[in-house]
Chains A and B, each alone.
Chain A
Amino acid sequence: MRRTPAIALPLLLLTACGAPEAQRTTPPGADSAVVNVYTHRHYDTDKQLFARFTQETGIRVNVISAGDDELLSRLEAEGANTPADLVITADAGRLGLAKQRGFLKPVKSAVLDANVPAHLRDPEGNWYGFTMRARVIAYDKTKVKPEEVRTYDDLTKPRFKGKVLARSSENVYNQSLVAAMIAHDGPEKTTAWCKGVVANFARDPKGSDTDQLLAIGEGLGEVAIANSYYIGKLLTSDDPARQKAKGLIGVSFPDLSGHGTHVNVSGAGVVKYTKNEANAVKLLEFLSSDEAQRLFAEGNMEFPAKPGVPVAAVLQGFGPFTADTLDLSQLGLHNADAVKVLGAAGWR
């Protein structure tokens, strides 16, 4: 044990160097040139955009990323002392919840009103969506004809007995799809749909969205429920493990009871106790600008909220689609019911 100091010393030196940086970032107070962001998004595109924003405006963006429920809990615990100015989540349900709990403050901006369509933002301006994703059906092009997967209901047909792939119901993507169905069709019809899908499962739900797509590549199933941008990423991936699925997959934008394809948004709201409101609004406006919207579309395969900004080339091939214009706050209101319906249907 004589060698202990020899090991400990470099460690201590190393960490001593780390100290100043850690301290410096701790107290981002009511400085005029910062905006403090709590975000559930971890994408490189977001990092690039924040850097661009700082370049253009001189406003530094401080970030904490974590799960959205954890971030909301933190906001709640911090109360009026919160340093956060802007909350970004990848789920409209959570944005609605944040508004309902009084964590957000309404803001008005002509730029935002112009850039973000009304159905993708809170009527009072508590939050604004800046990108959309669609919950779509990916199918094996060699076995399934496009007209066989026109609607979500198609997944419950005997044609797909033992062929449906989906991830577990612990995940918010499936929960919000089911919440949208409950909003449109009520819990009973939705339960029947869930049971129909469960009866058609190729296997117990497991893995990620991407894993469902890869499973199609292995012939473990013919249709999978997945988010649009995961398909986009798979189709542009150079990962050898993903090549087999790449050539097989087609995409359908299924219809939900005549309302179009279920979409959810990534969006942001200004925190009630913000100390840098002007900067927060500026960042929001920047996220809805052409420049940012293009990067979201190309870099991250998301659907831009702003009309007129083109979607990623690889997704264009699957044609235009009609997005469900359901008031997105409904997703939050029905999320708990969705969890119960999924549980009752035996969707693990």
Chain B
Amino acid sequence: MAGIARLLQGPRPYIGVVALLLLAPILVVVSAPLHAPATEWTYVRTHILPAYLGETLRLIALAGTLAIVFGTSTAWLVSACDFPGRRFFRWALVLPLALPTYISAITFAALFGPTGLLSDRLRAALGVDIDILGPDGLAIVFALMLFPYVYLPARAAFSAGMSDVLEAAKLLGAGARRRAFRVAFPLARPAIAGGVLLVCMEVLNDYGAVQYYGVHTLTAGIFRSWGGLYDVGSALRLAGVLLLVVLALALGQRLLKRGGLRTAEGRALRRVRLSGWRAAGATTWCGLLVLFAFALPIGSLLGDTLATWNAAAIADLARPVVNTLYVGTWAAAITLVVAVAFAFAQRMGYGGLTRPASIGYVVPGAVIAIGVMGLAGPLAARTGWVLIGSLTLVIYAFSVRFLALAGQPLQAGLSQQPRMLDEAAHLLGASPVRTFLRVNLPLLRPSLLAAAAIVLIEVVKELPLTLILRPFNFETLSTRVFDMARIEQWREAAPPALLIVACGLVPVLLLERWMERR
């Protein structure tokens, strides 16, 4: 009894309740196989699961590897070398993050698909057939869209505290290539691993692009079971398998995190001035990535917007813009409050309670929506408190989904604050809460901004959650894109797509500045 009493002391119960609240929709999903009938499970297990799992693993392996190559190489170039355009590329390489993958995927298909605009030219000019549609093409598209998730942390790793070991390597006779591959890249491994995990999760989560490219991922399998076999039970079991894949990836990433460089301060990396073909190569490489990952899709969207210019249709987008920013701001604010509270709890040693709640990020949005409705439905039936169709529920679902994303920069920021500060504050008579509010939190300000930016970027791009849970007549930019894309009116989808990018640009650049300061 004394043990239970002690468990209920202090902040534990409060943290526990909030954590449970955020975990509940996922528990609903995970527990579904225990009671929901899965009429077609035998078929799904033998025919869908193995093939789709294999294709999923292949896709994330390929997309992840390419993202490492793109992200690490560019991060190294802008950190360790000087070449024409370096200052521009330093921030421009982050821009692809503002584009939702499903929009880029469609744009790429329009350019490089079998009937694409540029494929056409290339066929005419060079006689080569280009077809981006398919598993390998999709991996390339994903890598192009998502490599900034690797680029940003790798760049931060290269700039912080790595200058001494790299100079030591140089004095020991290591050439540029050996310094990069034997010293810098291995030391940046934890940062790169964290970035790749994000890339993999985005790939696992996608539905629109995989369907269009005809690729069988687990998420596609979930929808095949749900919509094709009319079997929600099997769909949820597949969602469970998807969760296992993600947990395995997360475990792998934790293993890779060991052995990283943990020096805090160091002089900035001495950049080597490249010349001749090396400089040209560096500029070309970064330029090609920015061109393909950002400029081409944006150019294509701009072209379509102008070609179908319709002032009334554009003006009609004002409300979706406001709605998008409205849910985005609220979701960012609420997620941030919870994330800060959890970061505090973790610093106080309650990490065991808060950590499980971060799993929401890896669950596909549509599945979270089912979980959320599975909670809200019975609640309404018992209490008459109808939440489905309210923005409250939409924002709650966003918090479930994006809490982990907001937590990352906060924890990174907190880990850089020496314990000494807390101890000093305690010795000066400050309570833990006061210490957190007066010492930790103000120091955390840049990280807070980064966390808010990340959530805002993701909410602006997010589609399935909003689509299913939204109130009547509530349209966001991404639901507008969806409406047009669903009926294959790609060109008419361009203006709202451009606005999504515009809304995402400000937070993306904020995020870039935050990483810069780290």
Residues of A within 8 A of B (CB): 1, 4, 7, 11-12, 14-15, 17-19, 21-23, 25-26, 28, 36, 42-43, 62-71, 73-74, 76-81, 83, 97, 167-168, 170-172, 175, 203-211, 214-215, 217-218, 220, 230, 233, 239, 241, 245, 332, 335-336, 338-340, 343-344, 348
Find out whether the CB atom of A65 lies under 8 angstroms from the CB atom of B483: yes
A126 to B223, CA, bound (A): 26
A78 to B214, CA, bound (A): 33
Q: A77-B374, A210-B488 are in contact. List 4 more A-B contacts (CB 8 A).
A: A25-B474, A73-B369, A233-B488, A348-B216
Chain B 419-434 interface residues, beta-carbon cutoff 8 Å to A: none
Contacts of A4 in B (CB 8 A): 445, 449
Contacts of A66 in B (CB 8 A): 467-468
What are some 11 contacts across the A-B interface (CB < 8 A)?
A15-B326, A18-B326, A22-B391, A26-B390, A42-B486, A64-B389, A65-B467, A66-B467, A204-B134, A206-B212, A348-B216
The 9 residue pairs across chains A and B that have the minimum distance between CB atoms: A206-B214, A77-B377, A77-B373, A62-B472, A42-B483, A214-B115, A18-B322, A18-B326, A339-B228
- Tell me whether B495 is interfacial, beta carbon within 8 Å: no
Query: Which residue of chain A has the shortest Cβ distance to B137 in the bound complex?
Result: A206
- Tell me whether B16 is interfacial, beta carbon within 8 Å: no
Query: Which residue of chain A has the shortest Cβ distance to B380 in the bound complex?
Result: A81
Contacts of A71 in B (CB 8 A): 468
Contacts of A239 in B (CB 8 A): 307, 491
Find out whether the CB atom of A18 lies under 8 angstroms from the CB atom of B325: yes
Contacts of B226 in A (CB 8 A): 69
Contacts of A43 in B (CB 8 A): 487
Find out whether the CB atom of A340 lies under 8 angstroms from the CB atom of B47: yes
A15 to B319, CA, bound (A): 10
Q: How far is the CB of A42 from chain B (nearest CB, A)?
A: 4
Decide yes or no: A218 and B120 within 8 Å by CB, A18-B322, A25-B474 being known contacts: yes
- Give the contacting residue for A70; candidates B329, B467, B471; CB below 8 A: B467
A168 to B212, CA, bound (A): 9
Stretch at the interface among B57-65, B106-114, B347-355: B106-114
At the interface, is chain A mostly helix, strand, loop or mixed?
Answer: helix
Q: How far is the CB of A240 from chain B (nearest CB, A)?
A: 8
Find out whether the CB atom of A74 lies under 8 angstroms from the CB atom of B388: yes
Contacts of A168 in B (CB 8 A): 211, 214
Find out whether the CB atom of A69 lies under 8 angstroms from the CB atom of B227: yes
A150 to B486, CA, bound (A): 30
Contacts of B377 in A (CB 8 A): 76-79, 81
Find out whether the CB atom of B322 lies under 8 angstroms from the CB atom of A17: yes
Find out whether the CB atom of A22 lies under 8 angstroms from the CB atom of B488: no
Decide yes or no: A230 and B231 within 8 Å by CB, A26-B472, A340-B47 being known contacts: no
Contacts of A28 in B (CB 8 A): 472
Contacts of B329 in A (CB 8 A): 11-12, 15
- Give the contacting residue for A18; candidates B131, B323, B471, B510; CB below 8 A: B323
A42 to B496, CA, bound (A): 15
Find out whether the CB atom of A97 lies under 8 angstroms from the CB atom of B47: no
- Tell me whether B407 is interfacial, beta carbon within 8 Å: no
0/1 string, B91-120, CB within 8 A of A gives 1: 000000000000000000110011101001
A24 to B389, CA, bound (A): 12
A73 to B470, CA, bound (A): 14
- Tell me whether B484 is interfacial, beta carbon within 8 Å: yes
Find out whether the CB atom of B229 lies under 8 angstroms from the CB atom of A73: no
Contacts of A21 in B (CB 8 A): 319, 322-323
A20 to B464, CA, bound (A): 24
- Tell me whether B330 is interfacial, beta carbon within 8 Å: yes
Find out whether the CB atom of B211 lies under 8 angstroms from the CB atom of A340: no
Contacts of A17 in B (CB 8 A): 322
- Tell me whether B224 is interfacial, beta carbon within 8 Å: yes
Query: Which residue of chain B has the shortest Cβ distance to A220 in the bound complex?
Result: B114
Find out whether the CB atom of B471 lies under 8 angstroms from the CB atom of A22: yes
Find out whether the CB atom of B322 lies under 8 angstroms from the CB atom of A207: no
Q: How far is the CB of A344 from chain B (nearest CB, A)?
A: 8
Decide yes or no: A25 and B388 within 8 Å by CB, A70-B366, A175-B228, A206-B212 being known contacts: no
Find out whether the CB atom of B473 lies under 8 angstroms from the CB atom of A7: no
- Tell me whether B232 is interfacial, beta carbon within 8 Å: yes
Q: How far is the CB of A280 from chain B (nearest CB, A)?
A: 14
Q: How far is the CB of B201 from chain A (nearest CB, A)?
A: 22
Contacts of A83 in B (CB 8 A): 386, 389, 472
Contacts of A344 in B (CB 8 A): 47
A7 to B373, CA, bound (A): 35
Find out whether the CB atom of B227 lies under 8 angstroms from the CB atom of A64: no
- Tell me whether B202 is interfacial, beta carbon within 8 Å: no
- Tell me whether B357 is interfacial, beta carbon within 8 Å: no
Find out whether the CB atom of B322 lies under 8 angstroms from the CB atom of A348: no
A188 to B304, CA, bound (A): 46
0/1 string, B344-380, CB within 8 A of A gives 1: 0000000000000000000000100110011011001
Q: How far is the CB of B474 from chain A (nearest CB, A)?
A: 6
Chain B 43-59 interface residues, beta-carbon cutoff 8 Å to A: 43, 47-48
- Tell me whether B381 is interfacial, beta carbon within 8 Å: yes
Contacts of B388 in A (CB 8 A): 74, 77-78, 81
A81 to B393, CA, bound (A): 15
- Tell me whether B230 is interfacial, beta carbon within 8 Å: yes
Find out whether the CB atom of B228 lies under 8 angstroms from the CB atom of A74: no
Q: How far is the CB of A130 from chain B (nearest CB, A)?
A: 17
- Tell me whether B462 is interfacial, beta carbon within 8 Å: no
Find out whether the CB atom of B473 lies under 8 angstroms from the CB atom of A339: no
Contacts of A211 in B (CB 8 A): 109, 113-115
Find out whether the CB atom of A63 lies under 8 angstroms from the CB atom of B473: yes
A7 to B330, CA, bound (A): 15
A196 to B136, CA, bound (A): 27
A133 to B202, CA, bound (A): 35
A312 to B75, CA, bound (A): 56
Contacts of B120 in A (CB 8 A): 218
